[in-house]
Amino acid sequence: MSRRPFHKVLIANRGEIALRVMRTARRLGHGVVAVYSDADQDAPHVRLADQAVRIGAPPPAQSYLNIAAIIAAAKATGADAVHPGYGFLAENEDFAQACTDAGLVFIGPSPDAIAAMGNKAGAKDIMLRAGVPCVPGYQGEDQNDEAMLREARRIGFPVMIKAVAGGGGRGMRLVSDADAFLDMLRSARSEAAAAFGDGTVILEKAIANPRHIEIQVFGDSHGNAVHLGERDCSVQRRHQKLIEEAPSPAVGPELRARMGAVAVQAVKALAYEGAGTLEFLLDGDGQFYFMEMNTRLQVEHPVTEALTGLDLVEWQLRVAAGEPLPLRQEQIRLEGHAIEVRLCSEDAAQDFMPKSGRMALWQMPEEIRVEHALESGAEIPPYYDSMIAKLISHGASREEARARLMVGLEQAAALGVTTNQTFLLSCLRHPAFVAGKATTAFIAAHGDDLNAPAVAAADVALATLVLSVSHPLAHPVGGGRSLAASFATPLRFEIGGAVRDAELLRERDGSYRVTCDGTEHGCEVISLSGDMIRVRRGDITESARFVRDGDQLFVQHRGQTLALRDLTLAAPQSSAAAGGDGKVRAALNGRVVAVLVKLGDRVAVGQPVITLEAMKMEHVHAAGLAGTVTAIEVAEGDQVTTGRIVVEIAA
């Protein structure tokens, strides 16, 4: 094969993905071009590129899928190669072909390889013919409801419904019985069609409590292929990964060699070029079953980079330029242990509902690797995936890597938008994870423990103190003793959905006493500056970060974030927001994908009435009372904002 040199790379992606590719491309001497939607016009990946091109008109969610606009951007800027990142068009054979047809080097596998493995049904057929063990299921062309239900009964419940295109857990549903099958089938098809433009699905037997193991592979245009070990991606919510680690606690040298050999065999059979990942389910007996192949670099590739000391984006660029793989299989070494967590703008306690808005304070630790594209004051739009950062640790042992990651998570400040930071810490601390026993059932089995970390009364008192002393009109802290009489200041605030009353008293010696829920807490403010407060409680001095954003206060203390809304001077609020007044309100910014009722329908409490999609996930909204539907304020395809009334019901 001849060399395919290129000099300027357009990155057809956004956020931390674009920044990650830019970093390596620049190190290798390539110019970099960014593309952006209207929602991202001031984003860091736009500012840091050599050139940036606006692609597509609203809606912003579709901009990064505009193949013609991306090709035109490459031509306009003189880019001669395109890196698709690891989302959007990364596994789209039409995009790969369009790049090739335009004379651009596509930094990824061939369109034929993407087509062969990008369709889950076709990929399973290829693997079965190659003798690779696959999960029993149905991947036929007959997609009508009756045929699908019949095949599900033949396979035996529980079954998995999976979109044939795309990945990331979208278009995937676990169905436990026949009664729920058709509703789940509709939901999976709708989500798949919205995410990938294809509502076709396959069925698979649901394997009880498996491990999700994936093998990182690379091939080149000279017929070489290697694997770089496995990653364990078992800790998932909504079938989307939250924590990945390498090596897997469940995989030993012999099993690693067998799984790696199967993966390399598949790469060679496909004449595959570039980075890829073969995903398997590993049962309790050590048997593994092929699920799918992702024909791109994975979000979790940094854990493999930590173990191997290699730059996988560099490998992608070199392979795309026609060079052979830099190493042979026997030259690849795996050293230590690495763990990655995905920090997401979502509320883990509310079924991982995604959150958008302004990130008032954003500070990431410097001691571990962090991949992100945020800054204080940045807006998190509702159109894209909820992942906002990846934190990766590496250590000589698993326990060392886990400990380093927990310290890094505790130091991270993400205030202003609800994140899963505390939830991730709960996962890392849970005995099952510590013991290396987490399977794909981990979050479902331990959700109550993971979602309900106890908020100490002393921490609520600390937040109450910050609420008072950080107010712009507050009396300056410090100043020592005073002979002036002190009077308690009443405070009212909302925290965790509940309204609390408290009193703050400044003692004559300059210390403070907070009374909340009938309990007194004494403390002394050592310093208050910027976004940091230092306090002494008893013999212990410690720090907390905070930020005020309008009537909201966010306080972070030892990795836990408390969000308070100051109601001290607010008028009494109605309790109808949950829909008890008959008005169903959008719980988040999103797009209407299904209206499930008609005018005049009788509905019961809790009956689904509308489905919204945000950050690539669907969220069903239900009736708050029993009655008759009197108004439907939206239609399928509409964009709605948080709090907008979408359906009205008369009791």
Q: What pLDDT does residue 304 have?
A: 98
pLDDT in tens, 91-109: 999 999 999 999 999 999 9
What the block records as the tokens of 624 is 């708050």
One-letter amino acid for residue 234 of the chain: S
Q: What is the CATH number of domain 136-205?
A: 3.30.1490.20
Strand partners, 579: none
pLDDT in tens, 157-209: 999 999 988 666 788 899 999 999 999 999 999 888 887 888 999 999 888 88
Catalytic residue ranges: 296
* CA–CA separation, 445 and 449 (whole Å): 9
Q: What pLDDT does residue 577 have?
A: 43
Q: Which CATH number fits domain 576-650: 1.10.3730.10, 2.40.50.100, 3.30.450.70, 3.40.50.300?
A: 2.40.50.100
- Name the pTM for this structure: 0.85
pLDDT band at 520 (very low <50, low <70, confident <90, very high): very high
Task: Name the residue with tokens 């990946």.
Answer: 45
Q: What pLDDT does residue 578 have?
A: 45
Q: Answer whether 346's CB lies under 8 Å from 384's CB.
A: no
CA dihedral 155, 167, 406, 560 (to 10 degrees): -90
- Choose the most confident range, by mean pLDDT, from 98-102, 114-118, 161-165, 602-606: 98-102
* Fold of the domain spanning 457-566: Glycoprotein, Type 4 Pilin (3.30.700)
* Whole-number Cα distances in Å, 180 to 174, 187, 207, 606: 10, 11, 19, 16
Q: What pLDDT does residue 2 have?
A: 60
Residue ranges, CATH 3.30.1490.20, the chain: 136-205
Residue ranges, CATH 3.30.470.20, the chain: 212-451
What the block records as the tokens of 432 is 């099952």
Q: Please, what is the average pLDDT of the chain? A: 91
Residues in the chain: 651
One-letter amino acid for residue 254 of the chain: E
What the block records as the tokens of 480 is 């020592």
* Fold of the domain spanning 212-451: D-amino Acid Aminotransferase; Chain A, domain 1 (3.30.470)
Task: Name the residue with tokens 């050592």.
Answer: 526
Q: What is the CATH number of domain 8-107?
A: 3.40.50.20
Residue ranges, CATH 3.30.700.30, the chain: 457-566
Residue 572 has pLDDT above 80, yes or no: no
Backbone conformation region of residue 103, classed left if phi is above 0, alpha if psi is from -120 to 50, else beta = left
